[in-house]
Amino acid sequence: MILRRAAVAALGLSVALAQLAWLRAILAGIGWGPATLALMLCAIVVAPCLGLAAANAAAGFLIRMLAHDPPAAVLAGLWSDEDAVTTPTAILMRVDGQELGPVLETIERLLDGLDASRWGDRFQAFVLSETPDGPTAEAERLAVSERPRIGYRRRPAGRAGRPVSLVAFLDELEGFEFAVVLGAGSTITAETVLRLVRILQARRDLGIVQHLWVGLPAALPFARLLQFGGRARQRIWATGQGWWQGDAGVYCGHHAALRIAAFREGAGAAVVRAGTAVPAHPQVDASYLRAAHWGVMVWPDSRGAYELSPSTIVAFEQRDADRLRSIWPYRDLLVRRGLLPMGRWQLWQAVMPFALAPCCLAGAALAAALAWRGVSAPGALGLLYVAALTVHAPTWLGYAELLVRPRARARYGGASALWKAIAAQTAFALLLAPVTAASRSLALLTGGHSSLPPGRDPQRVGIVEAALRFLPHTVLGVLLGAGFAHAGWSTVFVAPFLAGLPLAIPFAVLTASPGLGRLLARRAIAAMPEERADPS
C-alpha cells in the first residue's frame, strides 16, 4: 500500500508542479506584484487538488480497463456469492422529516428480496428518525407501527440542528453484529446487502464496507444531467482512490455495512476525544474507527445501490449546506492528537470542496483585474484549458470507458446517444461549477445556514426565488465578465468557465423545468440504462 500511495503522490505532485511552473512562467512575463503574487498563492493552494484528480483518474481508469474484476482489485477477500449469511444484521434507514411512505415501501421491498433468499431471518429493519418532537414525529411513529416487520427509533437532532451520531442509535440495538446503513433517498437490492454482509464476514479486520451508488432515473433536467456525469466520474474516482487508500477509505454515512462492535469502539472514542460535541459526520466517525485499527474500505461497484439525486440546484445547494454544517465544527480535528495520517487526510477531503471554493473565486477575480488593466498573458488560456481537463479527468475517463466498451455503449443507446449526452452534461457541468464555487464561498460565511427545512427537495424553482437566491452570483459574474472583456476577442475562450455566474438565474429555472426534462427524456439525452429495455 505504501508503494501505491507513493506512486499516486508522485503522479499528483508532478501534475501540480508542472502546472504551477507553467503559471509561474506566465506571471513572470507579466511582472511580479501584489496581484500576481496573490494569484500564484491561490494556484499553490488549488494545484494539489488538480494533481489528485489526475492521479485518481489515471489509477481508476487503468484498473477498470485492465483488471478482470475491478472492484475485487480494490477490495480483495475470500468470499463468494454462495457463502452462508450467518450474522444477525440490522438494516437502518435514517430519516429527518422526509415523507415516510416511500421510505417504508423501499424497506418492505428490500425485506421481501431478502426473504426470497435463504437468509431473510438474519435481518431486521429499523427507521432511525431525527425528526423533532411534534405532529410529524407522531405521524412517523404511527406509520411505522402499521408495518410489523419494521422497528422505529427516534432521537431529535442535537444542538444547533447537528445530526445525531449513529452510535446513539446503535446503543439502543441489541442482538445484532452488523448494520447496513441507508439514507432516506436510498434504494438497495437484497443481493447488494448480502454482498456487504459476506464481505464483513470474510474480512474480520474491517469495521466498515462502503458501497458505491448511482442516481435513480430522474424527470427534471438538473438531476438527470447531474447524475449522468456523476456516474461516470465516481466509478473512476472511487476505483482509483480505493486502490491507494486501502483500509483507510471513505465512509459516506449510507449504502454501507458496519461491524457494530468496531463502530462503537471507534466512534465512541471519538465522542470522548472530541469533547462535548458528539461526532455526527460519517468521516469523523470513520477516522476514529481507523485510529482504533479497524479497516474502512470501499467496494467500488454501483450495481444494486441507488439514491435520489437533488431535483434542482436549490436542493443541491441544500445538500452542500448540510455537509458543510456537519463537518465544519470538526475542522480542528485536523490538528488534534489521536488520528492516523490517513484519517486526517479523509477529514481534509471532506472539508476541501468548501475550503478551496474561495481560492478559485479569488483567482478568477485577480485574473479579471489583470485583464481590466490590459495586462497581456500569453499562454494563460492554454493553462486554463489544461487545468479544466485535469480537474474533470475522472469524468472524461469515465466517458472513455463507456465509449470503448461495446456492451457499455449499448446500455446507453450507442455511441451517438453517448456523445449527445456527454455534450449536454459537459455544458451543464461548466455552467454549474462557478455557481457552486460561489455558493460554497457564501456558505462558509453563513456557517452552512440554509433557508430550506430538513428533508425538503423542491421540485420547481420560480423566477423570483432564483433571482433572490442567485443575485449575488449574477453580480459577480457581470463584474468578472467586465474585467475579462478588456482582453478583447480572447474573452470568448474564458466565457465557458464563467458563464454560469451571470446566467445563474435562468440556469436555476430552466434546469428545474418539467418541460425541458420531458424533452430530454423524449430524445433520450442523458438516459440511464434503467430507462432502457436492457438495464443489465
Please give the Cα distance from 268 to 261 (Å, whole number).
10
Indicate whether 373 belongs to any domain. Answer: yes
User: CA–CA separation, 302 vs 232, rounded Å?
Assistant: 11
Q: Say how far residue 510 (Cα) sits from the centre of its chain.
A: 23
| 501 vs 442: CA distance, rounded Å | 14
Residue 442, domain member (yes or no): yes
Average pLDDT over residues 72-96: 89
Residues 6+ apart with CB under 8 A from 148: none
468 CB contacts (<8 Å, ≥6 apart)?
Answer: none
Residues in the chain: 536
Is the pLDDT score of 273 beyond 70? no
* Residue 308 lies inside a defined structural domain of this protein: no
Looking at the domain assignment, is residue 304 inside a domain? no
Could you report the per-residue pLDDT of 280-324, keeping only the tens digit for each? Answer: 688 888 888 888 889 999 999 998 999 988 999 999 998 888 888
Domain assignment present for 238: no
Give the residue among 243, 257, 253, 245 at the shortest CA–CA distance from 201.
257
Q: Which amino acid is at 393?
A: A
271-302 burial: b if 16+ Cβ within 10 Å, else e: beebeebbbbbbbbbbbbbbbbebbbbbbbbb
Q: Contact 440/403 with Cβ under 8 angstroms? A: no
- Number of compact structural domains in the chain: 1
| Full domain range(s) for residue 441 | 2-69+348-531
Is 394 among the domain residues? yes
**pLDDT class for 535, splitting at 50, 70, 90?**
very low
Given pLDDT bands bounded at 50, 70 and 90, which one contains residue 277?
A: very low
Residue 393: how many CA atoms within 13 Å on its side-chain side?
22
- Domain assignment present for residue 503? The answer is yes
Which residue in the block uniquely carries the three cell numbers 429555472? 509
* Residue 261 included in any domain: no
Which pLDDT score is estimated for 435?
96
- At 5 the pLDDT is 94
pTM: predicted TM-score of the whole model, two decimal places: 0.89
Are the beta carbons of 379 and 26 closer than 8 angstroms?
yes
Q: At what angle do helices 313-327 and 221-245 cross, to 10 degrees?
A: 30
Q: Is 63 in contact with 97 (CB distance < 8 Å)?
A: no
Asked if residues 163 and 280 have their Cβ atoms less than 8 Å apart, the reply is: yes
